[in-house]
Amino acid sequence: MPNLSKMISKENIIKRFISYVTIDTESDPSSNTTPSTKKQWDLANKLTEELKTIGLQDVSIDENAYIMATLPSNVDHDVPTIGFISHFDTSPDFTGANVKPQIVENYDGHDIVLNETENIVLSPDYFEDLLLYKGQTLITTDGTTLLGADDKAGICEIVSAMEYLVNHPEIKHGKIRVGFTPDEEIGRGAHKFDVEKFDADWAYTMDGSQIGELEYENFNAAGAVVKIKGKIVHPGYAKGKMINSMYIAQEFINSLPRLETPEHTEGYQGFFHLHNMKGNVEETVLEYIIRDHDRGHFEARKEVMQKLTNELNSQYERQVVTTEIKDQYFNMKEKVEPVMHIVDIAEKAMRQLGIQPLIKAIRGGTDGSQLSYMGLPCPNIFAGGHNFHGRYEYVPVESMIKATEVICKIAELTALEE
């Protein structure tokens, strides 16, 4: 393979990435449509035309804005069909409107003033990872929006890699499928993904963070809604009659392990997370998410919540608490481990490109998890960005170039290893 670092244009990567992030594609969890916001169509339609322009075939966009395209095989023997997938929506956690990217050349390791007027500073004193990129080119926000590297960096890398492979047929590869999805940030990115139409043996989501990340484990996840019923009576005559649902809610909260919450856990440690509550004397509603990498521990956490519900009902001698738990997604490790060669290929690609693989579990979810359970094993690879979903988001351009190289190298290795 040619020396990609010298062949892939840094200027083109920057130009392409900025053309994506300056289009607002924020998704909306309160919407029932797909995509959840009409503005996602703006980038979706642009990408569809761009994939045609760079020379891909079978380019399609369906009624829900799911985009697919093909780079045909250029070898005369059977090679597995692989895919690369990214999402084009951005998180509703922070505004993605009017993104004004700033380019920091030859980063010197000091504070970066994102917005002088509002005194917003991106500092390595707080974000230590910045120091990994001294001497590199960073793209940041202006402090008033997110950047959108999650996951427009991934899209930029996939499009750039496909363009490179089209223009360099000397690099041998099998059939490659490309997929871009809406609404990943609100947990729906894979919901209407047509795995049968995509027709790949396996795929990779380009949706990780730091250079070198390679992930094939994620949380098992469930959501729980706990409803506590009280009884309102005039407080002056309430003795022996009033049941204050908020006090029972307090009992429920305090009965769960206090140190098994997000702010006290890391690595493979699971948690209960109370993320929303509202209530009055008559009714209090608690909304939890339950997370654990280990399937057995995950099931045990759900049982803990149900047991606590039963105990409180027994204590009050009536059904004051109801708990509804719904599974959300599962650890893709169960589906990827039987085909670990797909992780091995990605790891080998990184090592051959001088990248140290960082193989770790995701403390969250990914489209790849849902896709793996839909029949498309799908590990996750770095896209290069940091500090997603907020004003301090940034991406090193050199990391995007490396991710582009990884895609090309995976394509080459897949053809060579068969």
> Which active-site residues does the annotation give?
89, 184
The distance of Cα 217 from the centroid of its chain, to the nearest Å, equals 13
394-396 and 138-140 as β-strands: parallel, antiparallel, unpaired?
A: antiparallel
Displacement of CA 258 from its chain's centroid (Å): 27
Structure letter (DSSP) for residue 291: E
What DSSP letter does each residue of 33-67 carry, written as one string? Answer: SSSSSTTHHHHHHHHHHHHHHTT-EEEEE-TT--E
Q: Are strands 283-292 and 220-229 parallel, antiparallel or unpaired?
A: antiparallel
* C-alpha dihedral sign at 265, 153, 95, 100: positive
CA 367, 370, 375, 377: dihedral to nearest 10 degrees? 50
> Is 399 within 8 Å of 10 (Cβ atoms)?
no
* Amino acid occupying residue 121: V
- Residue 286's contacts (CB-CB under 8 Å, 6 or more residues apart) are 224, 225, 226, 228, 249, 252, 253, 274, 276, 277
Distance CA 173, CA 411 (A): 5
Residue appearing with tokens 């000091």: 110
Spatial distance between the Cα atoms of 158 and 179, rounded to a whole number of angstroms: 9
User: How far apart (Å, rounded) are the C-alpha atoms in residues 60 and 366?
Assistant: 23
Give, for 305, the enclosing helix (H) or strand (E).
helix 295-316
d(CA 179, CA 168): 21
Instruction: Compute how many other C-beta atoms are within 10 angstroms of the C-beta atom of residue 337.
Output: 13
Residue 169's H or E segment, with its range, is: none
Work out the angle at residue 45's Cα, subtended by the Cα atoms of residues 41 and 47, and round it to the nearest 5 degrees. Answer: 120
Residue 26 DSSP symbol: B
Chain center to CA of 36: 17
